[in-house]
Amino acid sequence: FWSKVELGPPDPIYGLTEAYKACKNPKKVNLAIGTYHDDSGKAYVLKCVRKAEKLLDSMRLNKAYPTALGNERYRRLCEELALGRDSQLMKNGVLASMQCISRTGALRVALDFIKSFYAGKKVVYLPNPTWGNHKHLIRETGLAYEQYRYYDNKTVDMDYRGMLDDITQKIPNDAVVLLHGCAHNPSGHDPSRTQWEELSDLIKQKNLLVIFDLAYHGYASGHFEVDAYAVRRFVEEGNKCVIIQSFAKNMGLYGERAGCLIITAESVEEKRKILSQCEEIIKSMYQYPPIHGARIVEKILGDTGLKAEWKLEFKLMSDRLMSIRRTLKTKLQKEGSIRNWDHIVKQCGMFCFTGLSKPQVKRLIDDHSIFLSTTGRISIGVDNFRAGFWTPRSTTLFMTD
């Protein structure tokens, strides 16, 4: 039956991890991982998560099936985190939200829904670059995608002018545009508030449907309210939005797959219809979302004390990332690198888009056992910098141009 099946394409990040595991160099480092590690080099479980799990355990909850749309209270808390307690749409009860299998699952449900029901142009415009799996998900859903300019390799900075021009000239009215809500992956560059405002006006004029990927909510500034500026502004200004959210990164619940999809509707009736169709999609895919991760989130966001602890703990994590960025930049300069490394501290979030070329990345991997994505993206959160990342074995390379 399967003799004609060909080997699928290798996963770039998984491939690097495998190569890292196989590498015998005791000084090897893996900077490709997308998880936050603490000073001991291990994936970090937040204290508030441990506390919430203890509380849940003491409640002796059962493991019965949830509904297809998931935990009701969790969904309200997700809406509140993304759009704020004062959100008019939330008060009007017109947010069609559902618990999904993290952001990836939320995006897949959203894309299926768009494919079947969106009345506008079914082409999704992605930033260039973007998270690799965006393209894959869109392709697998059977939709088309194009890209708009976002980042300029030459200036190692955001290409806001290019983005604006592409949205104005290249993207047709009524199409779909995907925006990273904050801490863009992989570039680490976000539009400023004024630029977001300009984008919101333009996108509204063009009647585009916006998919907001809130992957790194909190990681840009360390504050959830500040980081929600773009999404809240767009929603308040009346843009049609689809928001995908998860607690993988900001609560460290990667494998728990606690996500949420929020679609802004125009009336309670429209919301009911959207939810009923999404429910059909979910039932045909996986029937019910997983219960445990959402319960952890519900416990934390639904309890004033635990929520405050989470915010504090998360702020320490994001401050630490910023301090690692500063250290990295200073050490490179101290080692004598003549290259301009300002972008390391100008960027935000979990990753640093180094600006290293493909051949330089290859040399770092082959000659120095420093494993990083071919795009030049390194994970700040894994904290391998303290483990000698800038020792002469690599800085000579960094210093070459």
Binding residues for ligand PMP, per CB under 6 A?
34, 102-104, 131, 180, 185, 213, 215, 246, 248, 259
Catalytic position from the list 112, 159, 213, 383: 213
As measured in angstroms, the least distance from the Cβ of 148 to ligand PMP is 16
Catalytic entry in 51, 131, 196, 390 = 131
Q: Is 213 a catalytic residue?
A: yes
**What is the smallest separation between the CB atom of 255 and ligand PMP, expressed in angstroms?**
9
> Which has the closest alpha carbon to 218: 293, 292, 313?
313
Looking up tokens 């991890």 gives 17
Pairing relationship of beta strands 377-379 and 95-101 according to DSSP bridges: unpaired
The encoded tokens of residue 388 equal: 């000698």
Residue type (1 letter), 133: N
**Catalytic status, residue 131:** yes
Cβ atoms of 251 and 234 within 8 Å: the answer is no
Distance of alpha carbon 58 from the chain centroid: 32
Q: Catalytic: which of 249, 271, 299, 329?
A: 249
Closest to ligand PMP by CB, 131 vs 314, is 131
Indicate the residue type of 288: Y
Q: Is 39 a catalytic residue?
A: no
CB of 170 to ligand PMP, least distance (A): 22
Those residues whose C-beta lies under 8 Å from the C-beta of residue 323, and which sit 6 or more positions away, are none
In the complex, least distance from residue 115 CB atom to ligand PMP, rounded to whole angstroms:
19
What number of other Cβ atoms are within 10 A of residue 94's Cβ?
18
- Max CA distance (Å), the chain: 64
The helix/strand/coil state of 135 is helix
Positions annotated as catalytic residues are 131, 213, 249
